[in-house]
Amino acid sequence: MRKLKLVMVGNGMAGVRTIEEILKIAPDMYDITVFGAEPHPNYNRILLSPVLAGEMTIQDIILNDLDWYKDNNIDLRVGKKITTIDRKNRKVIADDGTEAEYDRLLIATGSNPFILPIPGKDLKGVISYRDIADTDAMIATAATHKHAVVIGAGLLGLEAANGLAIRGMDVTIVHIGEWIMERQLDKTAGLMLQKALEAKGMKFKLPAQTAELVGGEDGRVKSVKFKDGEEIPADLVVMAAGIRPNTELAEKAGLHCNRGIVVNDTMQTYDPRIYSVGECANHRGIAYGLVAPLFEQAKVAANHLAMYGIGRYQGSVTSTKLKVTGIDVFSAGDFSGGEGTEDLILSDPGMGIYKRVIIKNDKIVGAVMYGDTVDGSWYFQLLKDAQGIHEIRDHLLFGKSNLGDVGHKGQNSAASLPDTAEVCGCNGVCKGTIVKTIKEKGIFTLEDVRKHTKASSSCGSCTGLVEQILASTIGGAYTPADSNTKAVCGCTDHSHGEVRKTIVDLHLISIPQVMESMGWKTPNGCATCRPALNYYVTSSWPHEAIDDPQSRFINERAHANIQKDGTYSVVPRMWGGLTTPNELRAIADAAEKYKVPTVKVTGGQRIDLLGVKKDDLPKMWDDLAKAGMVSGHAYGKSLRTVKTCVGAEHCRFGTQLSMSMGVKLEKMLFGMYSPHKVKLAVSGCPRNCAEAGIKDVGVIGVDSGYELYVGGNGGIKTEVAEFFCKVKTDDEVMEYSGAFIQLYREEGFYLERTVHYMQRVGLDYIKAKVLEDAPNRKALYERLLYTLQGYKDPWLERSTSAGEAELKKPFEDLTV
């Protein structure tokens, strides 16, 4: 079959990232031609400032060398500027007459520097700061001239000024605003940064308006004149007063442009064959100038160019980190404040530390940090995920390490660590190795760091520190993975949400169908994605999906929990913590017969038989099943326990029949699989002896009925459940609890606890779906009951006269 022709105009970071993504998911779909106006392969434009400062070379910042284009059969044409797009005949024409036909066209022409329209702007020595040629010109000028003026005190202007100062020039920064970096910093942080840069020898003139650039007899700039009449010497003037989307080519072709090439959520222009990404594109009225949003755009554009058609770009929240040696500055979101917002401020001028977090509706909407930016990525994650901060508000300004759930390593500042410091103890990776790999490989994401260094890929306790190293190394290019869009694993670029939606939309009922439909990179997946896919198909299409036992964890296949010595823990279910002499006798007989070394009462009010040999598992379960006992699913991502107190059945304080209610809930939910383990508790009165306040669903009896609580967790970091609602009857407890659990089953990501699901979507959203929308609540409850109807424990289904081979079938290949 003939390959389609894809032509890309522009050889920058956003465009080439799009090509990289296409090669991952549809490597054989296109013959690709790339036109680049510069005489270089793709390079990291963000790292031009370290090149200017002498910390790196041009070769160090090349992202894709010429061999990469050759190895991927890409026709790269450098030094050729496209001047015409012939949309009728679907071809592009370069300034030298070169032509290329296309079936799809990707415009990634980036942006142009804004040159002040003032006299003298065309003099020799007046340059912008956008590419390698500009950087080379500044380096050459610094070697022969003394005075430099940088117009513009934004991120780019300050980086240029810092580099020129390091190279020995006398640098003055001119800015029209009241303080520097006013788009990224508030006034306090801006003044602190200015003071620190002045200590490095830089001079500032602001607010000031440049009136004219004065030239000498040799045609070179010699001074800058301001509107107030002052004049200062200048051998080099760097225009860093902003950028404008480069839309000249698109406008000439008749594409709709409005402060950028207008694109929709699939990065498609008004011509359906033409896409656009990067600084030239205008999405929902915004043209982004930072690389992180551009990479998000690239992924979506690639998805649609590869004809999967399931990705959408919905805009980005951006952050900024200044890359000036020894000075840490971070900002994110909207820090302008205004009506309905609150400011949380920590200021210690003597220590050079300033933090300001802007809160609105119990969520972070903006943050500014100077001096101590260790928690910048954490604040940014809270902001992006719109997580409520009510519970941690009193600790917020003191950082994540003060919450008590971060390991010792996560409390260290990445910038202060020596290169020899071990970051990842599991894999023996030091900071220097990570930094070197980030620079050499052009890495921008945590997943890429894991792929190339293995740091943070095992236990994950060093993840925060690795993120800090990544952020401090690449600055504004870094953005933490959004929990809503993070890829399931390295086998795919699709997120959990995309996978779930595709399974529902396309009615996919097996793992192979999902992998084929979504272009899985590996033929059989991995231990991360297969269990997730198996859960998603079985939860989306109960009674239709093809359950794959080999895609379940070993504990689920063995109906027992593997222990550190290779033996197993067997936990029969006791409904609501209640048992009978017959059940106890069966457990005692099994413990004696199979020489179980340890018998323990669990925290979930059951009896655990610890130390069972693998070969004894089938026979032991068969003996227990004969006594009517079923699995307690103590090993599964499923219903674990419903803990109860004795309640009004026996207790003089009890207001409700908690044991009866617990048994009803447990039997209703028996056999339910979920994104993660689910625990319930029913307390007969507000004294809460069943510890309902730290369960996924907690039920507390009161005089008038029951109070329901959701999202509790008694794990590594205890999370107190939040009040959900008050109901009167047992039936309402079951309906409301069941609807909440079914919503979590349908929307939770695999291995995401209820508390984390709640933090991601918000309790108000859940209340709207369950409490405020009665028809939806009843529909959720009915879907739960439909899913669980007819479930029987597999051990009770087997014939008690089954032979030895039949008994062992569920336990075959347990070591996989």
Question: What pLDDT, on a 0 to 100 scale, did the predictor assign at position 806?
Answer: 46
Domain-located, residue 620: no
CA dist list (Å): 670 to 5, 14, 158, 215, 729:
55, 50, 62, 84, 21
Domain-located, residue 563: no
Indicate whether 62 and 151 sit together in one domain.
Answer: no
- Domain of 134 in residue numbering reads as 126-241
3-state secondary structure 278-344: CCCEEECCECCCCHHHHHHHHHHHHHHHCCCCCCCCCCCCCEEECCECCECEEEEECCCCCCCEEEE
CATH code for the domain in which residue 358 is found = 3.30.390.30
Indicate whether 684 and 751 sit together in one domain.
Answer: yes
CATH code for the domain in which residue 234 is found = 3.50.50.60
Residues whose CB is less than 8 angstroms from the CB of residue 408 and which lie 6 or more positions away in sequence, other chains included: none
Q: Name the band, by pLDDT with cuts 50, 70 and 90, for residue 664.
A: very high
Question: What pLDDT, on a 0 to 100 scale, did the predictor assign at position 563?
Answer: 79
CA dist list (Å): 513 to 537, 545, 725:
10, 11, 40
Evaluate if residue 560 carries a pLDDT over 70: yes
Rounded Cα distance, 753 and 781, in Å: 20
CA dist list (Å): 600 to 533, 570, 597:
35, 11, 10
Domain-located, residue 566: no
Quick check: bond before 581 cis, omega within 30?
A: no
Q: Write the single-letter amino acid at 388.
A: G
Question: What pLDDT, on a 0 to 100 scale, did the predictor assign at position 800?
Answer: 41
Angle at 475 between CA 474 and CA 479, to 5 degrees: 90
pLDDT digits (tens, 9 = 90+) for 695-728: 999 999 999 999 999 999 886 567 899 999 999 9
Evaluate if residue 805 carries a pLDDT over 60: no
Domain-located, residue 489: no
Evaluate if residue 86 carries a pLDDT over 60: yes
Extended beta strands in 60-209, E state: 62-64, 74-78, 82-86, 91-94, 99-101, 104-107, 111-113, 126-128, 147-151, 170-174, 203-205
Evaluate if residue 815 carries a pLDDT over 50: no
Of 226, 241, 256, which residue sits at a domain end? 241
Question: Among residues 290, 334, 277, 57, which one has the least CA distance to residue 155?
Answer: 290
Indicate whether 298 and 343 sit together in one domain.
Answer: no
Q: What is the DSSP letter of 489?
A: S
SS3 of the chain: helix, strand, coil, percent, to 5: 35, 25, 40
Could you give the residue ranges of the DSSP H alpha helices within 506-574?
511-517, 529-540, 554-558
Question: What pLDDT, on a 0 to 100 scale, did the predictor assign at position 803?
Answer: 46
Domain-located, residue 97: yes
Rounded Cα distance, 333 and 388, in Å: 16
Q: What percent of the chain has pLDDT over 70?
A: 91
Q: Name the band, by pLDDT with cuts 50, 70 and 90, for residue 485.
A: low
Beta bridge partners of 359: 342, 364
Indicate whether 179 and 253 sit together in one domain.
Answer: no
Evaluate if residue 814 carries a pLDDT over 60: no
Evaluate if residue 237 carries a pLDDT over 80: yes
Q: For the residues 520-525, what does the mean pLDDT come to?
A: 83
Write phi, then psi, for 200 (nearest 5 degrees): -85, 0
Rounded Cα distance, 499 and 67, in Å: 34
CB 214 within 8 A of CB 225: yes
Evaluate if residue 801 carries a pLDDT over 90: no
Domain-located, residue 674: yes
Indicate whether 764 and 645 sit together in one domain.
Answer: yes
pLDDT digits (tens, 9 = 90+) for 425-474: 656 688 899 999 988 888 877 878 887 887 876 555 577 778 878 877 87
Q: What is the DSSP letter of 565?
A: T
Indicate whether 759 and 696 sit together in one domain.
Answer: yes
DSSP sequence for 40-67: S-EE-GGGHHHHHTTSS-TGGGEEE-HH
Tokens 């200015």, located at residue: 194
Any idea which of 527-531, 681-685, 764-768 has the lowest mean pLDDT?
Answer: 527-531
pLDDT digits (tens, 9 = 90+) for 375-427: 887 888 788 888 889 888 888 988 876 664 433 333 345 666 778 777 776 56
Rounded Cα distance, 213 and 695, in Å: 70
Q: From its phi and psi, is residue 599 left (phi > 0), alpha (psi between -120 and 50) or beta?
A: beta
Indicate whether 698 and 748 sit together in one domain.
Answer: yes
Question: What pLDDT, on a 0 to 100 scale, did the predictor assign at position 412?
Answer: 42
Of 195, 212, 241, which residue sits at a domain end? 241
Evaluate if residue 807 carries a pLDDT over 70: no
Rounded Cα distance, 683 and 664, in Å: 14
CB 618 within 8 A of CB 594: no
Q: What is the DSSP letter of 749?
A: P
Question: What pLDDT, on a 0 to 100 scale, did the predictor assign at position 351?
Answer: 82
Evaluate if residue 504 carries a pLDDT over 80: yes
CB 656 within 8 A of CB 675: no
Q: For the residues 543-562, what does the mean pLDDT come to?
A: 80
Give how many domains the chain has, as a whole number: 6
Domain-located, residue 806: no
Question: Among residues 241, 242, 223, which one has the least CA distance to residue 232?
Answer: 223
Question: Among residues 448, 447, 428, which one has the least CA distance to residue 439?
Answer: 448
Max mean pLDDT among 108-112, 432-436, 651-655, 755-759 falls in 108-112
Indicate whether 232 and 267 sit together in one domain.
Answer: no
Any idea which of 191-200, 331-340, 395-404 has the lowest mean pLDDT?
Answer: 395-404
Q: Name the band, by pLDDT with cuts 50, 70 and 90, for residue 522.
A: confident
Indicate whether 668 and 737 sit together in one domain.
Answer: yes
Q: Interhelix angle for 431-441 vs 446-453, to 10°?
A: 110
CB 292 within 8 A of CB 478: yes
CB 570 within 8 A of CB 600: no
Question: What pLDDT, on a 0 to 100 scale, did the predictor assign at position 788?
Answer: 93
Write phi, then psi, for 219 (nearest 5 degrees): 80, 5
Indicate whether 420 and 467 sit together in one domain.
Answer: yes
Indicate whether 64 and 180 sit together in one domain.
Answer: no
Question: What pLDDT, on a 0 to 100 scale, did the predictor assign at position 425?
Answer: 62
Of 361, 391, 406, which residue sits at a domain end? 406
Max mean pLDDT among 309-323, 395-409, 614-628, 770-784 falls in 770-784
- Computed over every residue of the chain, the mean pLDDT equals 88
CATH code for the domain in which residue 654 is found = 3.30.413.10
Question: What pLDDT, on a 0 to 100 scale, did the predictor assign at position 448?
Answer: 82
Residue 168 has a CB neighbour count (10 Å cut-off) of 11
Indicate whether 452 and 507 sit together in one domain.
Answer: no
Domain-located, residue 582: no
pLDDT digits (tens, 9 = 90+) for 125-159: 999 999 999 999 999 999 999 999 999 999 889 98
